[in-house]
């Protein structure tokens, strides 16, 4: 079976005092990669002039050539040389041409499985995130606490043990069901459409 090209998208936080050096460092990394079989290209963009977040991508012909680059001593030495000013915050691998054109977010490729690329809006303000988490957590916490209180002897347990039991129950419900649901419900408020 023919292997699809793989695009790797990396988000890095770059020390703003090292911008010029970081630009040279990125170009050097791209130059190193060009000497490896299967290299199809690379690029990088800053998110905006006010941020220290950089998005970098590179593309290889298949998994084997990508692995050869990523495992190479040259790349390891290059990464080490930038470790003091460029910190990786997210890495994603994608197949298909769409990897070059969408925002740096998508479903991680798992053994060349189907890839869904999504357009990404910037994260909402922290205060909105806090409101959503509270709106999801408070009623569920009340409900779970009330239900557990119906169990004979539960209220006699030590507080840390009661909290352990309730959080073990709450965490998967919150992460798997409630937070995704309330986040979808609140999308118009979290990401209001900007009018021109």
Q: State pLDDT tens for residues 96-144.
A: 433 333 344 444 444 443 333 344 455 677 888 888 889 888 999 999 9
Which part of the chain is CATH 3.30.70.100? Answer: 6-100
pLDDT for 138 equals: 92
Global pTM? Answer: 0.48
Domain 6-100 grouped into CATH 3.30.70.100: yes
Look-up of token digits 């606490």: 145
Report yes or no: 22 and 86 within 8 Å, Cβ to Cβ.
yes
**Structure tokens, 186:** 């609140």
Report yes or no: 33 and 68 within 8 Å, Cβ to Cβ.
no
Q: Which residue has the higher pLDDT, 118 or 44?
A: 44
pLDDT for 159 equals: 92
pLDDT for 185 equals: 85
CA distance 122 to 110: 25
């Amino acid at each position: 079976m023919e292997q699809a090209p793989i695009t790797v998208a990396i988000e890095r936080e770059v020390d703003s005092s090292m911008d010029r050096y970081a630009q040279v460092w990125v170009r050097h990394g791209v130059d190193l990669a060009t000497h490896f079989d299967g290299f199809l290209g690379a690029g990088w963009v800053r998110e905006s002039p006010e941020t220290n977040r950089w998005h970098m991508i590179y593309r290889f012909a298949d998994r084997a050539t990508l692995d050869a680059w990523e495992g190479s001593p040259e790349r390891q030495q290059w990464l080490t040389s930038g470790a003091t000013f460029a910190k990786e915050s997210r890495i994603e691998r994608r197949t298909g041409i769409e990897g070059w054109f969408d925002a740096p977010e998508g479903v991680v490729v798992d053994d060349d499985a189907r890839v869904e690329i999504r357009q990404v809006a910037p994260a909402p303000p922290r205060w909105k995130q806090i409101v959503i988490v509270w709106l999801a957590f408070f009623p569920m916490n009340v409900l779970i606490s009330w239900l557990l209180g119906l169990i004979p002897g539960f209220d006699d347990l030590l507080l840390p043990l009661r909290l352990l039991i309730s959080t073990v129950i709450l965490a998967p419900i919150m992460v798997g069901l409630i937070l995704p649901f309330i986040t979808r419900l609140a999308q118009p408020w979290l990401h209001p459409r900007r009018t021109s």
